[in-house]
Structure 1
Amino acid sequence: MTKLRVEINDPIIDKYIDGIERVETIYSDGLTISSWQFKVDNPKGIVIVTHGMHGMDASSMLDYGMFFKKEGYETFVLDMRAHGFSDGDTIGLGYTEVKDFSVLLDWINSQEEYENKPIILYGFSMGGTTAIK
């Protein structure tokens, strides 16, 4: 683990701000985990996109969110703990970030409109490693 916080908040947020919403979920450890949501009518499935550790947060992955949206997938671009709009000041190198995927997946699975939709996890670097866990 490393005591580190990463907040890029790339100006690209302004490019998509009219077509995205923030979804916030709270994990049992009290941290609020934030995601950017690209909504799609009758999506083929759900994609969760997440970033790596150094120099990245969800804002740096928004182009990927738009790519999947254009392909017909409802997309959530996840800010893992200690990144972007999510709470926390310690990066767990993938070990604690599994909880961030878990709380978002629980929220997605609780939404009636996503029932029986496939869920795809798409991550870079630490985000990819965390998605595998």
Structure 2
Amino acid sequence: MKVFNIFFCVVFIIFAGLQYNDPDPYVWMPIYLYAATFCALAARHRFYRSWYIGGILVYLAYAVYLFFTKDGVVDWMQQHQAENIAQSMKATKPWIEDTREFFGLFICIAVLGINYVYSKRRKRNI
């Protein structure tokens, strides 16, 4: 788990850095840095399960919003035939940005969820 958490800590820091020129870095930098912080702590065997749950709930609420909002994931799938989201971002295609953001949140939720489950198992075994 140490390698897993170090890897995702670095990935989330890079993700946060890439948000610098985003239209809303004040939203996305803290999202990724929150996940990076708790990965760094988990790599040092410090687990904060209530903080994982809090982060997961906030990320999940935002992900649900991005899923159903106009130009969100549903529009991307139905109106734009799941167009390639790896292409360059254009202001004329906001559904690509919302879909990317949704998947970024999904990654954060998955990593925090894995750490939550691992911390419960670890506590049981101690």
TM-score in same-fold range (> 0.5): no
Structure number with the higher helix fraction is: 2
Q: Which structure is richer in relative contact order (CA contacts within 8 A, separation 6 or more)?
A: 1
TM-score with structure 2 setting the length? 0.32
TM-score with structure 1 setting the length? 0.31
Structure exhibiting the larger radius of gyration computed from Cα positions: 2
